[in-house]
Structure 1
Amino acid sequence: MVPFAVGGMVLWALAGLVLLIFFRDWLAAHGHENWLWICLAGVLVGLPGLAVMRRYDAHRARRHADR
């Protein structure tokens, strides 16, 4: 499950960087600066998701080791 959380965070970060580097002027001209904040929120929301997935994977590994 951890790769899904990390993958999502990486995709949000890449989208934000592309928008920031290549489309910042276009976003400002058309009133879409909030798209950058949406990308940042995607990364930040992914952090607790990553923590939950790591904990879940650790518990799952422990359950399988006990069997």
Structure 2
Amino acid sequence: MVPFALGGMALFAVALLVVWLAGAPAYWLWTCVAGFLWGIPGLLTMMRHDANRRRRRALSHPEFQVHP
């Protein structure tokens, strides 16, 4: 799930750059900023979810290795 969050944040960052360079209305600029900033808690949530999923899988499947 982490790559999806990073991809979304990257798209909002690129859109921010394009909107800024194009001189679009300010609300588009702030929409891109908000999208990027909302991606941060989403990224942190997905990182925690993936870590918990790996830990649960390691507990239920002994052959599964967890690499820090």
- TM tier, smaller: 0.7 to 0.9
Aligned length: 60
Runs of 4+ in 1 over 6 A off after TM superposition: none
CA RMSD of aligned residues (A): 0.7
**Which amino acid is the alignment partner of residue 37 of structure 1?**
W
Unaligned runs of 5+ in 2: 61-68
Give identity over the alignment, percent. 53
Which gives a bigger RCO, structure 1 or 2 (Cα 8 Å, sep 6+)?
1
Q: Higher helix fraction: Structure 1 or Structure 2?
A: 1
Unaligned runs of 5+ in 1: none
With the length of structure 2 as denominator, give the TM-score of the two structures. 0.84
The separation in 1 between residues aligned to 2:57 and 2:26, in whole angstroms, is 47
With the length of structure 1 as denominator, give the TM-score of the two structures. 0.86
